[in-house]
Structure 1
Amino acid sequence: MNDNIPLNNHYKQIEKAIQYIDTNFKEHPSIEEVAHNVGMSKYHFIRVFKEYVGVTPMQFLHSVTLNYAKEHIKESKSILDSSLDIGLSSSSRLHELFVNLIGVTPKEWKEKGKDVQITYGFGQTPFGKALIGFTLKGICYLGFYDHNKEEVFQRFNELWENANLIFDEKLANEYLENIFIKNKKYPLLVKGTNLQINVWKALINIPDGQIITYSDVANRLNKPKSVRAVANAIGKNHIGYLIPCHRVIAKSGAMSGYRWGIERKKLLIEYEKNRKE
């Protein structure tokens, strides 16, 4: 195997690897098998593949499998049929794949949240009015608003369009008080792509009172060339404050791109900064 080919000459090998994975993903080829097929050693292949594609070969294989499962499951009569068709040992393995990557089960994906019970309500926070939604698994929505109450509800409703929504303003305000006044921690139930979820995890790890740039987030994810994709993922965050997208600013220092208002973003940053001091 010739591992001394310059990086910019590896394109054809990576293209061949992607084609091999697309064709053989149901057989779950090992990384060694894919690397051998393109004439590279395992660890060199992993490094070069990630440099070109932005994810590891195993992450790419999971993504291809998941995308196929999402389409196949729409037509399948049972989850087990889908599991067997893509070569997984049981429906529990398919369930694990969905949970790890996108935070919802195959059944919830297929039925777009049908029978998922979400309690929601409107209330006051130190940073203005907010809509909060939560399930037994965790908080699934937190959005601020000023006068656009219908707009924030529409966003929430579109995200969980077939869920069973239960309005309980008293309980919603208890949650908001616990979060903003008592600083109580809750699990978060997110719905998004693998990239979005990884970006949101990175945001949670930004220390309280600290601000970083979109480039910083991309670098933390080892995706320095994917700043725009990372920014788009940050913009899709549907759990404000708890997933602190307000702590990310442009490289120029501009406070841009906050769906709940630039002034609120400035206020959140100053509040956390002063609290830390």
Structure 2
Amino acid sequence: MDTDQSYHYGVMRRAIDLIDANAGVPLSLDDLAAEMNMSPAHFQRLFSQWAGVSPKRYQQYLALGQAKALLRDRFTTLDVADAVGLSGSGRLHDLFIRWEAMTPGTYAQAGGGLTIRHGVFDTPFGPALAMGTDKGLCGLGFLSECTLDDGMEDLCSRWPEATFVHDPAPIKGWVDASFAQKGEAHLHMIGAPFQLKVWEALLQVPTGHVTTYSEIAGAIGNPRAVRAVGTAVGRNPVSFLIPCHRALRKSGALGGYHWGLPVKRAILAWESARTGAA
């Protein structure tokens, strides 16, 4: 992975904050570059390398109406999930994810008997805390909006009986594959049966598209369980790969995001920009 990714995201995060502070009025390349203490050419090159599009184009994806535009133009109902598939363009570009879920009985043990390895890795969206068993990644959270201690407490509390070991080497390949858009990442999902259904439904939403909590509820056979679906989406332990960021409110509002709304907005715009450019 590119070791400059977190630096790039830090610059982009500052630029996004400036765009937000300007109340949706587009900022020129010169103005953005000046605020970043960079030349326009260098900022344009750095920004385009990260986002895949120019700063001007990216601002369009960060506009206030971006979520509603996604719902209008790229909304995907989960009824067509079998046509989307779990690999190829329907998933994270060319990345194929191998999924294995714990049985309800094992989940009830709260991770007892499991050894979970963890480490901090560089990603396009800043540093991320990743956790994994021998079978695959079981946790992934972004740290740009919280501290490492907060991230550790959050993820570790989900499996209180597990043994946690700082040992990033065994899970590095899965993390690299997750963001390099090639190779294979394994997931070992640890959750209650209802949560697993919701997370599996999220896997059906292709890159650059979104869905709603009510659509997910219908897809898993519980159309009235919209609030419970929202809770399960928020409890997704493997961010980005299980794309909870693609779940929006029916109104088109972004809703919340466990690892910070700025990260959700950045990921959605990043995916939309790259999908549009392709």
TM-score range, shorter chain: 0.5 to 0.7
Structure 1: gaps spanning 5 or more residues: 1-99
2:113 corresponds to which of 112, 115, 121: 115
Query: 1:128 is matched with which residue: 126, 129, 144?
Result: 126
Q: Which residue of 2 aligns with 1:195?
A: 194
**In the aligned structure 2, how far is the partner of 1:237 from the partner of 1:259?**
9
Cα 1:189/1:268, change in 2 over 3 Å: same
With the length of structure 1 as denominator, give the TM-score of the two structures.
0.58
Post-superposition Cα deviations, 1:173-226, rounded to whole Å, max 9, x if no partner, equal 544322102433323212222111101000001111101111111122232221
1:147-226 matches, cutoff 5 A: 147-226=146-225
Q: CA RMSD in A?
A: 2.1
Q: Does 1:228 pair with 2:227?
A: yes
Counterpart code for 1:145: L
Q: Distance in 1 between matches of 2:196 and 2:107?
A: 16
Other structure's SS at 1:166 match: strand
Q: State the AA in 2 paired with 1:265.
A: K
Q: Which of these residues, 133, 140, 145, is aligned with residue 143 of structure 2?
A: 145
CA separation of 1:206 and 1:161: change in aligned 2, threshold 3 A: same
Q: Distance in 1 between matches of 2:225 and 2:159?
A: 28
In the TM superposition, residue 159 of structure 1 has moved relative to its aligned partner by 1.6
| Number of matched pairs | 176
Q: Scaled by the length of structure 2, what TM-score is found? A: 0.58
Secondary structure at the aligned position of 1:187 is classed as strand
Deviation at 1:241, TM superposition (A): 0.4
Structure 2 gaps, min length 5 = 1-99
Q: Which amino acid aligns with 2:113?
A: D
Specify the code of the residue in structure 1 equivalent to 2:210: I
Secondary structure of 1:192's aligned partner = coil
Q: CA deviation at 1:109?
A: 4.6
Return closer, same or farther for 1:171/1:249 CA change in 2, 3 Å cut-off: same
Q: Kindly indicate whether structure 1 or structure 2 has the higher relative contact order, using CA contacts under 8 Å at least 6 residues apart.
A: 2
Of the two, which has the highest radius of gyration? 1
Aligned pairs (5 A) from 1:50-69 = none
Secondary structure of 1:115's match? Answer: coil
Amino acid at match of 2:161: N
- For 2:274 and 2:262, the matched residues in 1 are separated by 18
Residues 139 and 219 of structure 1: CA distance in aligned 2, closer, same or farther (over 3 Å):
same
Work out the CA distance in 2 between the residues paired with 1:178 and 1:160.
Answer: 25
Higher helix proportion:
1
Residue equivalent to 1:248: 247
Alpha carbons 2:136, 2:174 under 8 Å: kept: no
Q: Which residue of 2 aligns with 1:71?
A: none
